[in-house]
Chains A and B, each alone.
Chain A
C-alpha cells in the first residue's frame, strides 16, 4: 500500500507549530511508517511538489502573495488542515487588525522609514479559512501533539476527527485543579476557551490565555464583565485578552466589545 503524501506549509507565524511536529518522538517513527512526508522545508532537504493527501498549514495569511500561495495549496491537497492558532483564527499576528492604524501607518511603524518593498504589502491577518475551505483544525499555540496524531489517524481513516470544543474548565475540573479564578481571583480565560490541551496552563498554575480560541457557544461578554466588575481589570486589559489569539472570531469579539 502506498502511504499518503503529506506536506507542511508555513505563512506568517513563528514556525513553532512546524517545529512541534518533530516533537512527537515517542510515535515519530510509527507515524513516519504510515505517511510519507513529501514537503517539509524545515525538516528535510529533499522536497517534492504535490499533489498531496494532507497539507498542514501553519500561520496567518497577512499578504496578498500568501493568499495566492494558499489557494494553490488548496488545489494540491485533498485535505487541508489549519495547524495552530495563527492558521485557525489569525492568532497573534491578528493583533495588528485591532491597532487602529491603517496598513501604511503600520508599515511605517514596524519597518524603518523609506523602505518600500512589495514584499511588505500587508493585509489584515486572517486564519486560512477566510480564503479557502479547511477540512480540519488543530487549535492551540502550539497545538496538542496528541490531537496531531489523532488527526492523522482520523484522516487516514477518512473520518471527521470531531475534537470536542468543550471549555478548558471541563478538563481542568476533571484534573481537580484549584480554580484560579474562583479561588485565587486570577483572570483565567479557561471558561470560554476551547480545551483539548488538557488544561495545560491552569494545571501548571498559570491562567489560561485562550490560545485555542473560543469554546462552543461560549459567553465571552459575561466573562469580560466578571473580569472588570469582580476582578478589577481595566477595560484595556480585557480587550487585549480577548484579542490576543482569537480577536477575529465572533465569540471573542463579543468579549472585547463588552469591555469597550
Chain B
C-alpha cells in the first residue's frame, strides 16, 4: 500500500511547529556551537534541521534519561511515591539511525518485564523523523539498513526535497498531526526517493555484515583486540553517546534523616572496570581488551541475539566521532575482515523465548516480614520471610534455584537465591552472607523487621528433566543455598527421582552451611552425602580433605541416566565441570548456576551479561551445552 504522504512548504514550517506546540513540548535539534543537541525549542527559528549528529541520541536523552528517580521512600520498606508521568512531547527531526536505535531500545525496555517509566514516556512521545538527504561524516547506517531514510518507527517523517518537505505518515497520531497539509504529488514522492537514493550512494563508510555474528565469534582471540587495548582510554564516551546502549546502575540516595530518600538509576558503562564489580571486590571483566570486546560484540552480534534480531548498532557514527583516540567500528571491522581468525563452526546463543508482563511495576518491592532468623555459621544467616499482604503471599510461588531481589530502601537491592524448597507455602528462605552494603544492613535486622521483596526471577534447576533420573549435586561453600531447596524437593517426592548423591566441599568445616540438616539429608532414602574441606583447621573431621573434585573418586554416580547440578565459586565449577567431562558426562546432562553477577533481575540494567547471556533472565541456571564455548563463559 502506498504510504500516505503530504507536503510541507519550508515557508510553513514555523506555523507547523506552532500547531505542534499546542499539544506537545517540542524538542528538536539546536546549535551547541560547533555541535548540536536536542533541546526544547520555543519556535521553528531555534531548529537546526541541517544538523549532522547530536552528542546524545535524542530518544535516549528524553525516553531513558541519564538519571531518573524510580521511586521515593521514607523508611526501609516504605515507598512514598513515584515521579509524575512525563507530559506529552514530540521529538522533532530525529534521524533514521536514532529512530531505529529507539526501536532497539523499545525491545529492551518494553520487552520482558516492561519498564513503566520508559513506557509512560514512550507513549507520550510523538516522533517526527527527518530523513538524511545529506549523509553525516561518520555515519554508516546503510550497512544495517537503518538509514539514511526510515521505513518505520515514526509518526511522521520529513524529507527535504528543496523548497518543501515530503511528509510521510507512519501512524494514526501522525495522520492527525499532518491534518491540513496538502497531499504529495507523484513528482514529490519521486523527488523524495531520488534524494534518499542519492544520499545513500554518497555514504562511503560501511561494515560488512555478511555472516556477522559467526564472524565475530570466530575472532574472539584476534590480535586486533590487544592493539585496541593499548589505545582505548576507558573513558566510556562511546557507550554514553550510543543510541542503543542501555546499561544503568541503581544506587539509593538518602537525605540527612538517613532513612528517607530516593532510588535513582544512572547510566552506566561496560567500559568501566567497576561495572563488573560485585561484593567482596570481585571484578568479572578486569581486562580492558575484554571490555572493548564486550561493547563491540554487544553492538554487532549479542544485541540481535538478545532482542529478537534488533540491531545493536545503527551506524550513527557517534562512538567514532567522540572517541579521543579514534577507535572506529568501521576501521576495527575492516581490520578484522583483512586479518580474520580461523573459520570454524560456531554456535550462536539463543535465549529462552519468554515474555513476562507482571500486573504491577517490576521495580516495586513488596513489604515482607522477617519471621525467623537462624545463624548458619559464623558469617551466614538464614532468614525466613513472609509477605505482609497475605494475598500476595498466597499467590507467591517459585521454582527451585530461582532468586528474589531483596530491597532495603536507603541502601539498595540485592539478588539472592531462595534457599527453601518450592513445596513450602506461606514463607520462603534466603541464606545470606553479610559482604556488601545491603547484606550488611540485612545482618542488623531482627525478627519482625520488614524489607522489600520482588521476584521470583530467573530459570531454576531443571527439576522436571531430573525426574526419573539419578541426580548428582556438586556444591562449593555457600553454593548450597540455591541447591538445598531442590535436594528437599527430591526428598519430598522421593519416588520420582533415582539415586541422589551430594558432594559438598567448603574451605573449612566452619564455612559449611546447613550442617545441622546433614543428618536429615543422610536419612533421605537412596542418598549419599560426601563432604570435604580444603583445610580442617585442626578441628575433628572424619571426611575428605581437599577440593570438591577429590570426591569424584569416591562417588558412585555414573553418567547413565543422570543429571549433575552444580553451584559454587567460579573456579570450583570450572574444575568440577572439567572433571565430569573427563569422566564421560556429557554437556547435555550438566547444569550450572552462574548467579553471582546479577543486579536488576529483569533484563534491564545489563550488569549480568556474560557475552550474549543475561544471567538474570536466561539463567541463573544454564545447561552446560547451551553456554559451552561462548565468549566469556569460561566453563
Residues of A within 8 A of B (CB): 27, 30-31, 33-34, 149-150, 153, 156-160, 162, 164-167, 169-170, 173-174, 176-179, 181-183, 190-192, 215-219, 221-223, 226
A27 touches B256 (CB 8 A): yes
B234 touches A215 (CB 8 A): yes
CB distance from A196 to the nearest CB of B (A): 12
Which residue of B55, B235, B325, B410 contacts A215 across the interface (Cβ within 8 Å)? B235
A216 touches B274 (CB 8 A): yes
Choose the segment among B5-13, B32-40, B103-111 that binds chain A (4+ C-beta atoms closer than 8 Å). B32-40
Which has the most chain B C-beta neighbours within 10 Å: A173, A178, A181? A173
A223 touches B233 (CB 8 A): yes
A176 to B29, CA, bound (A): 13
Number of interface residues of B (CB under 8 A): 43
Is B241's beta carbon under 8 Å from chain A? yes
Is B347's beta carbon under 8 Å from chain A? no
Pick 13 A–B contacts, CB within 8 A, sort by A: A30-B256, A150-B253, A153-B254, A165-B273, A170-B240, A178-B55, A182-B323, A183-B34, A190-B235, A216-B273, A217-B272, A219-B230, A219-B233
Q: Which of B221-241 contact A (CB under 8 A)?
A: 230-237, 240-241
A192, closest chain B residue (CB): B233
B322 touches A182 (CB 8 A): yes
B235 touches A167 (CB 8 A): yes
A178 touches B32 (CB 8 A): yes
Q: What 8 A-B pairs come out closest when comparing CB atoms?
A: A191-B235, A169-B235, A173-B240, A167-B235, A217-B273, A216-B273, A191-B233, A174-B66
B437 touches A162 (CB 8 A): yes
Residues in chain B near residue A31, CB distance under 8 A: 256
Residues in chain A near residue B574, CB distance under 8 A: none
Is B421's beta carbon under 8 Å from chain A? no
B411 touches A159 (CB 8 A): yes
A183 touches B272 (CB 8 A): no
A221, closest chain B residue (CB): B230
B235 touches A157 (CB 8 A): no
Residues in chain A near residue B32, CB distance under 8 A: 176, 178
Is B634's beta carbon under 8 Å from chain A? no
Is B321's beta carbon under 8 Å from chain A? yes
Which residue of B232, B251, B324, B441 contacts A162 across the interface (Cβ within 8 Å)? B251
B411 touches A191 (CB 8 A): no
A149, closest chain B residue (CB): B256
Is B79's beta carbon under 8 Å from chain A? no
A198 to B375, CA, bound (A): 44
Interface residues as binary, B246-257 with A (CB distance below 8 Å gives 1, 0 otherwise) = 000101011010
Residues in chain B near residue A178, CB distance under 8 A: 32-35, 55
Is B258's beta carbon under 8 Å from chain A? yes
B324 touches A182 (CB 8 A): yes
B272 touches A166 (CB 8 A): yes
A31, closest chain B residue (CB): B256
A37 to B441, CA, bound (A): 27
A172, closest chain B residue (CB): B237
A153 to B35, CA, bound (A): 39
Residues of B within 8 A of A (CB): 32-35, 37, 54-56, 66-67, 230-237, 240-241, 249, 251, 253-254, 256, 258, 267, 269, 272-274, 286, 288, 321-325, 410-411, 437, 440-441
A219, closest chain B residue (CB): B233
Known: A178-B33, A183-B35. A170 touches B236 (CB 8 A): yes
B325 touches A192 (CB 8 A): no
Can you add 10 more A-B contacts, CB < 8 Å, to A167-B272, A176-B54?
Answer: A27-B256, A166-B272, A166-B274, A170-B236, A176-B55, A176-B56, A190-B235, A191-B233, A218-B234, A223-B324
A222 touches B240 (CB 8 A): no
Residues in chain A near residue B269, CB distance under 8 A: 166, 170
A156 touches B258 (CB 8 A): yes
A176 to B61, CA, bound (A): 10
B411 touches A219 (CB 8 A): no
A192 touches B235 (CB 8 A): yes
B258 touches A222 (CB 8 A): no
A7 to B256, CA, bound (A): 19
Which residue of A157, A166, A170, A218 contacts B410 across the interface (Cβ within 8 Å)? A157
Residues in chain B near residue A158, CB distance under 8 A: 440
A169 touches B236 (CB 8 A): yes
Residues in chain B near residue A159, CB distance under 8 A: 411, 437, 440-441
CB distance from A239 to the nearest CB of B (A): 18
A158 to B321, CA, bound (A): 43
A165 touches B274 (CB 8 A): yes
Residues in chain A near residue B234, CB distance under 8 A: 167, 192, 215-219
A105 to B324, CA, bound (A): 41
Known: A34-B256, A178-B35, A226-B324. A191 touches B272 (CB 8 A): no
B235 touches A170 (CB 8 A): yes
A240 to B95, CA, bound (A): 43
Known: A153-B256, A215-B234. A181 touches B324 (CB 8 A): yes
A36 to B87, CA, bound (A): 45
CB distance from B22 to the nearest CB of A (A): 28
Residues in chain B near residue A160, CB distance under 8 A: 437
Which residue of B33, B253, B274, B323 contacts A164 across the interface (Cβ within 8 Å)? B274
A219 to B227, CA, bound (A): 13
A173 touches B241 (CB 8 A): yes
Which has the most chain A C-beta neighbours within 10 Å: B55, B288, B321, B322? B55
CB distance from A56 to the nearest CB of B (A): 17
A174 touches B240 (CB 8 A): yes
CB distance from A229 to the nearest CB of B (A): 10
Known: A158-B440, A169-B235, A215-B234. A179 touches B322 (CB 8 A): yes
B318, closest chain A residue (CB): A173
Residues in chain B near residue A177, CB distance under 8 A: 55
Residues in chain A near residue B272, CB distance under 8 A: 164-167, 170, 216-217
A30 to B254, CA, bound (A): 13
Residues in chain B near residue A34, CB distance under 8 A: 256, 258
A183 to B254, CA, bound (A): 38
A171 to B258, CA, bound (A): 26
Residues in chain A near residue B322, CB distance under 8 A: 173, 179, 182
Residues in chain B near residue A223, CB distance under 8 A: 233, 324-325
